Amino acid sequence: MRKNVLIIGASGGIGSAVAKQLAGESYQLILHYNQNKQAMYANRDKLHEESILMEVQADLSQDDGINRLISQIVFPVDAIIFAGGTAHYGLFQDTEETQMDMMLTLHVKAPWLITQQLLPSMIQRKQGRIILITSVWGETGAANEVVYSSVKGAQNSFVKALAKESAASGIAVNAVSPGFIDTKMNQGLLQEEKEKIISDIPANRPGTPEDVAHTVAFLMSEHADYIHGEIIHVSGGWRS
């Protein structure tokens, strides 16, 4: 029986790669996006039409958007992949409280509430997967990205704690922690900044969204049944 996967942030670089990877492995997808309709059109072109159960637009940085998403899901969900989000750059002392609230809601509260809503049915079926795409900054921290590092650290703690609570019910909760990935999030860096980062990566290249998607696909498979509460690094050995 084909399993239904909710992908949060399916219009982003990593989310799109995950959608393509899982569609190729016969999963059925519920695709969430916020603003990037063009990317969703591109997803449709890449995926077989029968792989897409539905698309849901919602701004998960707002409580109304979280409730909108939850209310529109009409299919049973066997797995949730949280691949959405946004970074915030700037000195911590210059960060507005409204920006802090937005980042907390998007990266922490939204995963909490969405998981809380969908977890009971997974427990009832004694199977499920919950995977968060976090960041190396959630463990090491980054200057000028204090708020982003903080919320990604919260995601890692959520994964570790929920895994202990739900493993006995057949639910595997894990995270994939990317390093420097070649996505739109890093396009604002100057070329010399990118070159400096790449020079510090033992694998000597940036990661790709497909590198992350392959790891997600493994965690979705039966080969990962005994993996619970892990933060799996996809970083080319980079620990800046």
What the chain holds in terms of domains, given with CATH numbers, is 4-234 (3.40.50.720)
Instruction: Give catalytic residues, as residue numbers.
Output: 148
- Higher pLDDT: 15 or 42? It is 15
Residue 81: both structure tokens together: 């992949």
Instruction: Encode 161-187: b = buried (16+ Cβ within 10 Å), e = exposed.
Output: ebbeebeeeebbbbbbbbbbbbbebee
Cα 91 from Cα 195, distance rounded (Å): 23
Closest CA to 207 of 103, 129, 132, 135: 135
Q: According to the model, what pLDDT value does residue 185 have?
A: 67
pLDDT, averaged across the chain: 93
pTM above the 0.85 mark? yes
Using the predicted structure, report yes or no on whether residue 188 has a pLDDT greater than 80.
no
Question: pLDDT digits over 126-138, tens only?
Answer: 999 999 999 999 9
Could you count the other beta carbons within 10 Å of the beta carbon of residue 118? 19
Per-residue pLDDT, 3: 96
Give percent of the chain above pLDDT 90.
76
Q: Which residue has the higher pLDDT, 80 or 206?
A: 80
How many C-beta neighbours within 10 Å does residue 58 have?
21
SS3 sequence, 121-189?
HHHHHCCEEEEEECCCHHHHCCCCCHHHHHHHHHHHHHHHHHHHHHHHHCEEEEEEEECCECCHHHCCC
